[in-house]
Amino acid sequence: MPAAERVLLRSGTMWLLLQSLLLLASGLPSAAAFPKGCYPSEEEGLKTFRCSNAQLTEVPRDIPNDTNKLYLDSNRIPFLPRDAFRDLPLLLELDLSHNAISSVESGAFRGLAEHLHSLDLSSNRLVSVSKDTFSNLKAKVNLSDNPWRCDCRLQELIRTVDLVAGSSGGIVCDSSTQEEHVGKAFLQVIADTDFCNVYKKTTDIAMLVTMFGWFAMVISYLVYYVRQNQEDARRHLEYLKSLPSKQRRSEESSTISTVV
């Protein structure tokens, strides 16, 4: 075989090999696409994505959508926006512990209701969260070691979620409307105090005070109106007395009928 043909054959073979490698690589997730400190793996047959201690300040966007276990613990994430995990329909476990999360938007866990069975939000900065945040979730939730404000909102939240066994003792009142509750476990506090009932009573009292205020204003106006009319009638009668008798009698009759 001539040398020129051998060179062309080798070039063609190398080109086909390069194309095959490129096609193979395009079907695999690139490590360079993941945030620094994040990597995929497989643990006990489950596809896992780890971003522990990766200095993250938000939930990564390039997480493989077939991930079963996601570790975002020990980062600096301050906020969970709506639909933060909507592209992870097969997620079973989600670890968000040891972050700086102080706010969770309603709908942050939307799309996870079917499969998620473990959600760890312990050791964050949560003070108050709406019960709707966890609506339809069947997962066991860990809410311990957060600076909770003990009130009706927290009481409704605790009634909504399914807490991880043994984690309820870590839900402690960091602040409360009643000073004696601070530092106590929330479940211990609500054994004696119904925050929502207290809130309802306070609201009812406020409504009664408002209604009484309006009623007092109406009564005051009516009293003023009657007195003003009586004064006007008295002045008119005095005026009539100063008129000639015939004209006075006709106008007195008119005035009396008007007053009546």
For 84-118, the pLDDT digits (tens) are 999 999 999 999 999 999 999 999 999 998 899 99
Work out the mean pLDDT of the chain and round it to a whole number: 79
Res. 123: pLDDT tops 80: yes
CATH architecture for the domain at 32-193: Alpha-Beta Horseshoe (3.80)
As a whole number of angstroms, the distance between CA 45 and CA 26 comes to: 24
Least confident of 75-79, 165-169, 207-211: 207-211
Residue 99, C-beta contacts closer than 8 angstroms, at least 6 positions apart: 72, 73, 74, 75, 76, 77, 78, 123, 124
pLDDT at 197: 87
Cβ-based neighbour number of residue 43 at 10 Å: 10
pLDDT at 134: 93
For 130-146, the pLDDT digits (tens) are 999 998 899 999 999 99
- Mean pLDDT on 64-76: 97
pLDDT at 200: 45
CB 142, CB 93: distance < 8 Å = no
pTM here is: 0.66
As a whole number of angstroms, the distance between CA 122 and CA 238 comes to: 84
For 15-45, the pLDDT digits (tens) are 444 454 444 444 444 445 788 999 999 999 9
Res. 212: pLDDT tops 80: no
How far is CA 49 from its chain centroid?
27
Buried b (16+ CB within 10 A) or exposed e, 44-61: eeebbbbbeebebeebbe
